[in-house]
Amino acid sequence: MRFLDLAATSAAVGATSGRRAKVELLAEALRALDPAEVPAGAGWLAGELRQRQTGVGWASLRDLPAPAVEPTLTVAAVDAAIDGIAAVRGSGSQARRRALLGALFAAATTAEQRMLVGLFSGELRQGAQGGLLADAVARAAGVPLPAVRRALLLSGDLRTVAVAALQGGAAALAGFGLRVGRPLAPMLAQSAPTVAEALTATGTPAVVDVKLDGIRIQAHRSGADIAVFTRSLDDITARVPEVVAAVRALPARELVLDGEAIGLDATGRPLPFQQTSSRAARRATVANAGIDSAGIDSAGIDSAGTGSAGTGSAGTGSAGTGSDAASAGSGRGVGPTAVAPAVVAAAASTGATVLTPYFFDLLHLDGDDLIDAPGRERWAGLARVVDAGLLVGRVEVDGPEAAAEAFTAALAAGQEGVVVKDPDAAYEAGRRGAAWVKVKPRHTLDLVVLAVEWGSGRRRGWLSNLHLGARDPATGGFVMLGKTFKGLTDEVLRWQTERFLSLAVERGEHVVRVRPEQVVEIAFDGVQTSPRYPGGVALRFARVVRYRDDKSAAEADTIDAVRALRPGSGEPTVG
């Protein structure tokens, strides 16, 4: 298949608003791919490279050669070229990679270059995420959509599922099952503003798990072989020897565990997410990890969609599990109050962040798949296999009052919030259903819009991504904190495009800089240190709540108020 035809499909999907029309365009392209081209082509249509790491960043994409006049590239040729770029290592690799990248772009037409830039940068926003591709795979292969979705959830790999469906049909899809050693897409949680609203979704009785601000982990064991994966299904086994040690000590031959790993200080309180994620992102040697696994170029670290609590030592025995006052139902608390000696020693003597794993679900045990079993059955098996010191802090509640007490206790222990769960629900891999609902305290700030970026894909033609600034009383100016386009409806996009064009002081091709007059209320999950922005801090998961026409820029929140929200600074109420 010509790469130009795939690029044309991508552009057409981005310009199309209807879901059905998008699916048909994608299905037609999938049917046109040669069998060997499906793994790469299906991934590209979802905006993903088959090669997870290429060494190509934005700096490499700034000075590109002139586009080719005539199309000559095929899907297979482009995939092979990217393979070559991703394989470059060693001395002089930067120059060799640049030369290979230049050769690829020189052979690409304007439309093909546009798609390549989107793929390499990870910003091919054409409105064709995995869910839409699953529909397209089913349409292209003529197989039931539930069969595609089930295979996708169990394999976690759209490309593999697309190959199976297009080449083997429904029979091939039926062969997908939970396989120890192969990660599956984790179950995710919806959000609710209060525990009472969460209980409306889950029903009662329910269980309340503490939500840690760590990294989601999925641990697989088959005999002596252990593998640990992130939420994004990246293998980080060599980087988390503490998790490996904990899993190795469990009395089971085969298992798949869902949980979270987090760094704790010497008192047992959670460290900021940045410290946990940076510890997991560091490469570990195989010798240090004590396992048969090679280092990976990217940890694929994600903040967990669900959480856990309790404290304990990874592979060294258990410690305290929480506050007795917060205990109920299962008898385990919701916040750590003690830390195993190994964690204390590491924090005190080396200064290194030690990652402690906590598990909250069991998906497979010694030959039995449990994902279709109700939660209470899975959790009973979990309690039999995993030491209490490595289990999630969990309480059973029968109403909003008890749930609110658990939520308060979790926050008092320095945790991020809670996840309310339906104990009768199956494990819906890859789904964000109503069976798990997370609740976190919501922070808001009134910030000033400093600039706006033109949107792409569905937002093409509208000013979309907001540059957010806090007021700096010392200078009278504003300090940028980050960007967001989350929470913007089509109606708001239309309004803000008109509004910010009227405030424009500089209209670039990509960014429109505006007079700092418009105040916007921004909700966010936390503040983290960031060298990327001049204020040294950035907002986590920022999203638009509403525009504040009742406030002037002089009434916006200050950079000092934002910095005070960093972990360890106390958390004053703002907004």
Residue 300's nearest CA partner among 356, 235, 225 is 235
Of 22, 211, 421, 483, catalytic: 211
391 within 8 A of 383, measured Cβ to Cβ: yes
Neighbours of 389 (CB within 10 A): 23
Buried b (16+ CB within 10 A) or exposed e, 109-133: bebbbbbbbbbbeeebbbbbebebb
C-alpha span between 297 and 367 (Å, rounded):
32
- 426: three-class secondary structure by DSSP: coil
Q: Where are the alpha helices (DSSP H) in 413-529?
A: 490-502
- 433: three-class secondary structure by DSSP: strand
Contacts of the segment 99-103: beta carbons below 8 A, 24+ positions apart:
101/56, 101/60, 102/64, 102/65
307 within 8 A of 416, measured Cβ to Cβ: yes
CA distance to 90, 291, 292, per residue, from 287 (Å): 22, 7, 9
CA distance to 241, 309, 326, 355, 517, per residue, from 277 (Å): 15, 17, 28, 10, 36
190 within 8 A of 432, measured Cβ to Cβ: yes
C-alpha span between 80 and 68 (Å, rounded):
19
Active site residue 483: no
To which residue do tokens 């020693």 refer?
345
Q: What are phi and psi of 239, to 5 degrees?
A: -100, -10
C-alpha span between 228 and 246 (Å, rounded):
11
Structure tokens, 388: 């209490």
Residue 241's nearest CA partner among 285, 276, 271, 304 is 285
Q: What are phi and psi of 476, to 5 degrees?
A: 80, 0
The DSSP H or E segment spanning 521 is strand 519-524
The DSSP H or E segment spanning 165 is helix 158-174
Residue 42's nearest CA partner among 51, 53, 30, 34 is 30
Structure tokens, 363: 């998906």
434 within 8 A of 190, measured Cβ to Cβ: yes
DSSP for 201-213?
A: HH-SSEEEEEE-S
Show the beta-strand stretches assigned E in 199-354: 206-211, 215-222, 225-230, 254-263, 312-313, 317-318
- What residues are annotated to the active site? 211
